Amino acid sequence: MEPSVIAEYFGDKEYMECVKDIFDSPVFQSLDNYIQHGTTTCKDHCIQVSYLGYKLSRRFGGNWRSAARAGLLHDLFLYDWHTHARETGKHFHGFTHPRTAYNNAQAYFGLSWEEGDIILRHMWPLTPIPPATKAGFAVTCADKICSTVETAARVKRWVLMCFLAQPAGR
Ligand SMILES: [Fe+2]
Ligand SMILES: [Fe+2]
């Protein structure tokens, strides 16, 4: 993650007070062991979605506490989705992981009704039911934006590698 982004959320006292218990938990830290998109870990992805969802909620009037906490927990599915189907025979990660993340988040942290709704609906419109609140829309939008940026960074690196691998003079 960019150092400037880390400095910004660590320096945001209200944000950190709201999410500190999640940050400090071993189960959240374990998200560092899984890649989400490109070279971005699930932990960094969840932090970025949480912080952008929190900022959007502050700007547009949603419950920023729910956005910050549910954003951190929205992908708490705790497996490597790149190999999951091959190892378990369970396909459709895109459709099923919100429920898995919800169950894990409920078990480890307990969830408010809104936090639960945000996690369960964050894949909308891939899943049919949209979030019920402004904070839910903020996290859903933040997830799409962060996923696109993370994937685009990987494509950019791949294109650069292809060009840099060309022998000189060609
Ligand atoms: Fe997700
Ligand atoms: Fe996500």
Give the pLDDT confidence score for residue 2 in this predicted structure. 66
Please tell me the number of Cα atoms within 13 Å of 64 on its side-chain side. Answer: 15
Contact 71, 46 (CB under 8 A): yes
Q: Around Cβ 123, how many Cβ atoms within 10 Å?
A: 19
Cα distances from 140 to residues 24, 46, 119, 144, in angstroms, run 24, 12, 9, 6
pLDDT 10s digits, 61-120: 999 999 999 999 999 999 999 998 888 988 899 999 999 999 999 999 999 999 999 999
What confidence tier does 169 reach under pLDDT thresholds 50, 70, 90? low
pLDDT digits (tens, 9 = 90+) for 52-78: 999 999 999 999 999 999 999 999 999
For residue 112, the CA-to-ligand 1 centroid distance in Å is 19
Query: pLDDT at position 65, please?
Result: 98
Domain borders along the chain are 3-164
Q: What is the pLDDT of residue 161?
A: 76
Residue appearing with tokens 């945000």: 118
Q: For residue 160, what pLDDT is reported?
A: 76
Question: What would the pLDDT profile of 14-40 be if each residue is shown by its tens digit?
Answer: 999 999 999 999 999 999 999 988 888
Helices (H), the chain: 3-10, 13-23, 26-29, 42-60, 64-73, 81-88, 93-109, 113-121, 134-164
Mean pLDDT of 141-148: 95
Question: How many angstroms separate the Cα of 143 from the Cα of each of 51, 54, 107, 169?
Answer: 11, 12, 23, 42
Rounded to the nearest angstrom, the distance between the alpha carbon of 49 and the centre of ligand 2 is 7
Select the CATH number that applies to the domain covering 3-164 from these four: 2.60.40.1730, 3.40.50.300, 1.10.3210.10, 3.40.50.970.
1.10.3210.10
Q: Identify the three-state secondary structure at position 36.
A: strand
Centroid of ligand 1 to alpha carbon of 39 (angstroms) = 16
Ligand 2 center–CA 166 separation, angstroms: 35
| Ligand located closest to 145 CA | 2
What do you get for the CA distance between the two ends of the chain, in Å?
A: 35
